[in-house]
Structure 1
Amino acid sequence: MWEEPLIVEEDCLQHIEVPPTFTPVSAGKLGGQVDSIFRHLHKRKGFNGTVLVTKYDQIVYKGAFGYADFRSKDTLTTQSIFQLASVSKQFTAVAIMMLKEQGKLQYDDSLQVYFPDFPYKGITIRQLLTHRSGLPNYTYFSDEFWPDRKVNLSNDDVLNMMVAHRPNMYYQPNRTFSYSNTGYALLASVVEKTSGMSFAEYLKTQIFEPLKMTNTYLFSNELVEQTAKVVSGHIGGRRKRLPDYQDSVLGDKGIYSTVEDLYKWDQALYTQKLVKRETLEEAFLPTGKLNQKTESYGFGFRLKQVESGDTVIYHGGLWHGFNTYFLRNPKDHSTIIVLSNLTNGSLNYMKDVRNFLYPAQSGARARKQQKLASAR
């Protein structure tokens, strides 16, 4: 498959030279190989979802495998809308960056600047962005403190529970990394406080509409109107996973989108349409090593060195029957976007896809690459 690159209103900032060997023929061959990988994952590992892969800003492959709903046997398409789970966090981070550029907040502001009654001292916006706040996870403490699970939980409710009940911190702020859904829910509340808009309206008017992401929504009444396109999440045994009271908390999750809209998002991150280049580059800076020093975390993005030696920017997501994966490699402007509505472990094989697209270098080339990396 070969498609012309997406037309953006501003020139790419990180111009990339396309090698003469990358032609419609070679792109088609690459797309065929990717198709074979995902057909194998679908047949042998139970993958159910949609896929879009790019290289040098070109779509080389997109496809859909399986069902939007196993009971009704509705088939998936690349326009099917999935819950993005934690892939949503990068949108929250960029919203914070946009407001920072507008002078409406600073990364090192204390949360008390925005919420005077917030009971935990010394926690900053930067620590929320980088998962270094030490705050307890609302997905656990709300089970204890929320009185009626038939009533949807809001971001304000999460904040009010923390003020009223003060669940114990996991550790002191900025001591270490600990992945925090609470932190990103609070960042969505900061967006609302500083913009004067609901989080859903801010993302819609400031990000989704300017980027023409016409099939992207947040968990809301507006999403309900798109039920024909929204797929169902499924857990073990292909059982449908119904939404519950925590689905309505936004910022850490709650965005619904398609692989094609996420391609528009990927392309926009190479421009200054949303934020300046230097602002986005700060989001891709490591803030401490994770997972035995093989990766790090920036602002809403994980950073990892793959087998080829390239550093990729990525995030995964897992929530209520949805499993998602979004990876970008700035070196060759390639992207892997995978959305699944069946949490059966099939996305554990994304390493195989990475290793195919970014194979390990060998011999003198690898040594030269290591030497260049050490000199930086």
Structure 2
Amino acid sequence: MFQLQSFSQDKKDPINRLMRAAHQRGTFNGNVLVMQGGKEMYQGSFGPVEANSKVQLTREYRFNIGSIAKEFNAVAIMMLKEQHKLSLDDALSKHVTDLPAWADKIKICHLLQYTSGIPNSKWKETKGDEDNLNNLKKVTELNYEPGTKYTYNNNDVFMQRLIVARITGMSFNDFVMKKMLKPLGIKHGIMDPTPADQMIAQAYNNEGIVDDMTPPISGWTNLNLDDFYRWSEALNTFKLISPASTAELLVPFSDGNQTGLGKGTMKGIKMLSHIHDGTAANYQALLISEQEKGLTIILQTNNKQNNLGSLSEAILRIMEQ
């Protein structure tokens, strides 16, 4: 079994060689952080902030973390539950009153477990939150009876964020900034950045074409390495929601399905592991937090190569040698 120990240069150097080799092959452009026992074991930044730029990445650059940002709406829902402002058994229609009758069938717990039956957003055709909501108002029936089937669905996420906004009277983005990031000391997190914002790594494909940064729906938290780690530790130490609420979020509809926190395990009131990956166009991110090993690995890229899993496995092998 992996034991906590004081890692020296013999761990840092092979990780550095691994990441440099990946960058030189053109299979990694981004940032990596390895923490062990709360101490930084390795940090590396590789490549430009966007295609063909002479400006190189540093650890301060913020990245879109894709679906990992869905943790923020899941945690926000549980925060409101703990404040007795909602129940997970509440019908969607209780908090979002301008939807068709099918909203009476959907519970908040269905949204968290991606089992609502709401048709997915027409992602490529959607031009913002109002457009997405108007499209949902035109839906006449659900794809299936809520709670009977799993479908990973951005409209479940959209509805969670809308519930937070309707209950609190502030936008979801403001709620995240004021009630989540600020209390945790996450100083550089940003919601839905634009090309005008500074210190944003802009994603691009292998042909050097930069992604459109405008999301079809709002609510996407962008983080740099250090704030990403701070968020992970806040989940591990239950700074925003209780162990019971965290455990509830980690229960999948069935084995292998994603939850509001991706995947994870707990034992009593202790978080054992938390793993979540996210993709948004050519952004990709991966968080691996193995609390039994005292180890956290964060990988962020703005040039998706679908290899963060293999890179993290290689880092884990180095750490376990």
Give the CA deviation at 1:313.
1.9
Which residue number corresponds to residue 289 of structure 1? 255
Q: Deviations over 1:73-102 (max 9, x none)?
A: 210001011111111011111111111100
1:183 lines up with 2:156 in the alignment: yes
Please tell me whether the aligned partners of residues 136 and 167 of structure 1 are also in contact (alpha carbons under 8 angstroms).
no
Which residue number corresponds to residue 318 of structure 1? 279
In the alignment, which of 277, 296, 318 is matched to residue 243 of structure 2? 277
Which aligned segments of 4 or more residues in structure 1 are displaced greater than 4 angstroms?
Answer: 357-360
Larger Rg, first or second structure (1 or 2): 1
The 5 A counterparts of 1:87-106 are 87-106=68-87
Which residue number corresponds to residue 268 of structure 2? none
Please tell me whether the aligned partners of residues 243 and 320 of structure 1 are also in contact (alpha carbons under 8 angstroms).
no
Q: Please give the TM-score of this superposition, normalised by the length of structure 2.
A: 0.88
Which residue number corresponds to residue 342 of structure 1? 303
SS in 2 for 1:268: helix
Which 10-residue stretch deviates more, 124-133 or 32-41? 32-41
In the alignment, which of 165, 172, 176 is matched to residue 203 of structure 1? 176
1:258 lines up with 2:219 in the alignment: no
- How far apart, in 1, do the equivalents of 2:319 and 2:119 lie? 37
Please tell me whether the aligned partners of residues 314 and 326 of structure 1 are also in contact (alpha carbons under 8 angstroms).
yes
Give the CA deviation at 1:181.
1.0
- How far apart, in 1, do the equivalents of 2:82 and 2:250 lie? 16
- How far apart, in 1, do the equivalents of 2:316 and 2:33 lie? 17
- How far apart, in 1, do the equivalents of 2:144 and 2:264 lie? 24
Structure 1's unaligned 5+ residue stretches are 1-17, 147-151, 291-295, 305-309, 361-376
Aligned pair count reads 314
Q: Please give the TM-score of this superposition, normalised by the length of structure 1.
A: 0.76
Structure 2's unaligned 5+ residue stretches are 266-270
Q: Deviations over 1:193-248 (max 9, x none)?
A: 1111111111111111111211101015xx666x230111102323211234xx05
In the alignment, which of 87, 90, 94 is matched to residue 109 of structure 1? 90
Give the CA deviation at 1:64.
0.5
Which residue number corresponds to residue 134 of structure 1? 117
In the alignment, which of 181, 186, 198 is matched to residue 228 of structure 1? 198
Please tell me whether the aligned partners of residues 15 and 315 of structure 2 are also in contact (alpha carbons under 8 angstroms).
no
Amino acid at match of 1:210: P
Give the CA RMSD over aligned residues: 2.6
Which residue number corresponds to residue 71 of structure 1? 52
SS in 2 for 1:240: coil
- How far apart, in 1, do the equivalents of 2:261 and 2:120 lie? 17
Give the CA deviation at 1:70.
2.0
Please tell me whether the aligned partners of residues 159 and 186 of structure 1 are also in contact (alpha carbons under 8 angstroms).
no
